[in-house]
Structure 1
Amino acid sequence: MSTFLLEIVTPEHVVFSHEVNSLSVRGVEGELGILPSHIPLVTPLQVAPIVVKTEGRNLSIAVHGGFVEVQSDKVIVLAESAELPEAIDVERAVAARERAERRLAARSNQDRVDHRRAELALQRAITRINVSSKSKE
């Protein structure tokens, strides 16, 4: 089966760099599946898990915004932050989700910026929890 190089890079470090069979990402316009020889493109990403298929298994990686660039022989994900399942502190993610939900529930006293920050924090926490739970299945 054909493969391509996938690199997931944050401002701090390279999170993932391996040959993979396929990749599924959530762009701003919806879900996108990438296979070897995909047409080149660049699109912004939502805060959502990336699902990588390699060596017959699926791996979910928490990605928090950024862009995906598909080239002829590799795919680069430039993410604001990204975490492999084993790097996720689930207790911290659950606490962050609860804090964000409380902020959103008390919305009447917030301005738009605080509300948007709470929504993004909630999305990041849910993504971390989902990726962590999928790794244990």
Structure 2
Amino acid sequence: MQSSFRLEVATPERMLINEAVTEAYIPGADGYLGILPGHAPLLSEVGIGQLDYTLVNGQKHLVVVQGGWVEIHGHHVRVLANAAEMANEIDVERAQRALKRAMDRLNHKGEVDLARALNAARRAQARLEAAKGMSPVSGPR
């Protein structure tokens, strides 16, 4: 059995990851997908959250993804995300402001697009946690 697989993460703007990895945890629409070498073929929706992966040298990394699709076939895992950013690229102050705006909208007594406000809060929270090195799957880095 092969001990690694190729992980590709791309958005419409750029390729973020094209690496050999030993494991990946991808936020799905209904929870996290744990991917190891030899995973069964799959096509699934990607949710909002942190994609956690381990390189063959043991280094762990995080990237925040915001919707899209994941395709698993053979020794390749391809994530085509609507938006994504590496943890080290996240502007923490901007993410904090986005979270505050989303929470203000959720706490507002007037008419609010609840789904949109919740998604904004989830995106901002995932970005803040990734910037701090907090993985929902493997804990602090």
TM-score (norm 1): 0.91
- Where 2:66 maps in the other structure, the secondary structure is strand
- Consecutive unaligned residues of structure 2, counting only runs of 5 or more, are 135-139
- The 5 A counterparts of 1:64-83 are 64-83=66-85
Give distance in 2, aligned partners of 1:65 and 1:83: 12
Q: Give per-residue Cα distances to partners, 1:69-105, cap 9 Å, x unaligned.
A: 1010200001111110111000000000000000000
> Greater shift after overlay, 52-61 or 94-103?
52-61
| Alignment partner, residue 59 of structure 1 | 61
How far residue 30 of structure 1 moved from its aligned partner, in angstroms, is: 2.1
Give distance in 1, aligned partners of 2:106 and 2:39: 40
Q: Which has the higher helix share?
A: 1
Give distance in 2, aligned partners of 1:49 and 1:115: 22
How far residue 50 of structure 1 moved from its aligned partner, in angstroms, is: 0.6
Matched residues, number: 134
- Where 1:36 maps in the other structure, the secondary structure is coil
Query: What CA RMSD, in Å, does the superposition of the two structures yield over aligned residues?
Result: 1.6
How far residue 29 of structure 1 moved from its aligned partner, in angstroms, is: 2.6
TM-score (norm 2): 0.89
The answer on 1:118 being equivalent to 2:120 is no
The answer on 1:127 being equivalent to 2:126 is yes
- Consecutive unaligned residues of structure 1, counting only runs of 5 or more, are none
Q: Give per-residue Cα distances to partners, 1:91-123, cap 9 Å, x unaligned.
A: 0000000000000000x3224xx2221111111
| Alignment partner, residue 100 of structure 2 | 98
